[in-house]
Amino acid sequence: MNKSVSVFLPTRAMSERVKNKNTRIFAGIEGGLLKVKLVQLLDCSCIDEVILSTNDRDSIEVARKFKDHRKLKVIERPEQLALSTTNLMDLVNYVPKVCDSNHILWTHVTSPLVNTADYTNAVKTYFKILEQGFDSLMSVKEIQNFIWSKEQNKVVNKKQDDEKKWPRTQDLNKIYEVNSAIFMASKEVYMTEQDRIGKKPFLLTQNQIKSTDVDWEEDFKLAEILYENYK
């Protein structure tokens, strides 16, 4: 099996919810979340190339400081694929066209607590689970708390035969939140399924800290605190 791995790392200009979130100073680091992520990925020995796909001038400037690193490739993304209105499926279909490796790991700068060791573990796990019949891997956060449906007016993740209105939380069905930190699949899956996961993804569970995702301004501030304490 060809085990070459490309990382697809997208950033775009004009972040709407967190101003300049990709490159503004993060936890005292010039170059911000993007620099943090590039260091983490480029230090991962099981990754063959890192594709920074962007239309953001500031992101390109940060990447230029890594210009001597053979793994990093900066590819300017077409504007129609870098809009807030861009259909994710259009971007998915674009990814295998710019990645040279047989396998693609899609990640984001907005997961700063996912580090080099985590990516190494994900890649090693991915190749193991392919031999077990899975066709892709996706990172998730496990949830085993009361999930209430307003429409059904009840807890919806109880076991089917549990008649108690409020069972013990440890007796609830586990559900999984996609934390958007890692998606991994072969280029073939991208082209046949037109998706970044296949029909049978393996769920790689990550804890609350690793699952920190910078989506809002308060997330950015919380992520700085966590990064400074857990890096």
Q: What are phi and psi of 138, to 5 degrees?
A: -140, 135
Residue 14, in any domain of the structure? yes
Residue 33, in any domain of the structure? yes
Residue 205, in any domain of the structure? no
For 222, the domain range is: 5-131+180-195+213-230
Q: Provide, rounded to the nearest whole percent, the portion of the chain with pLDDT above 70.
A: 100
Whether the Cβ atoms of residue 4 and residue 47 lie closer than 8 Å to each other: no
pTM beyond 0.85: the answer is yes
Residue 141, in any domain of the structure? no
Residue 18, in any domain of the structure? yes
Q: What is the rounded average pLDDT for all residues in the chain?
A: 95
Sequence-separated contacts (24+) of 192-198 with Cβ below 8 Å: 194/89, 194/92, 194/93, 195/89, 195/92, 196/92, 196/95, 196/104, 196/106, 196/136, 197/136, 197/137, 197/138, 198/134, 198/135, 198/136
Q: Determine how many CB atoms are found less than 10 A away from the CB of residue 176.
A: 13
* 62-117 pLDDT per residue, tens: 999 998 789 999 999 998 988 888 899 999 999 999 999 999 999 999 999 999 99
Residue 29, in any domain of the structure? yes
Task: Show the low-confidence residues of the chain (pLDDT under 70).
Answer: none
> Domains in the chain: how many in total?
1
Residue 152, in any domain of the structure? no
Describe the crossing of helices 116-130 and 32-42 by its angle, rounded to 10 degrees. Answer: 50
Residue 61, in any domain of the structure? yes
- Here the CATH number for the domain that contains residue 100 is 3.90.550.10
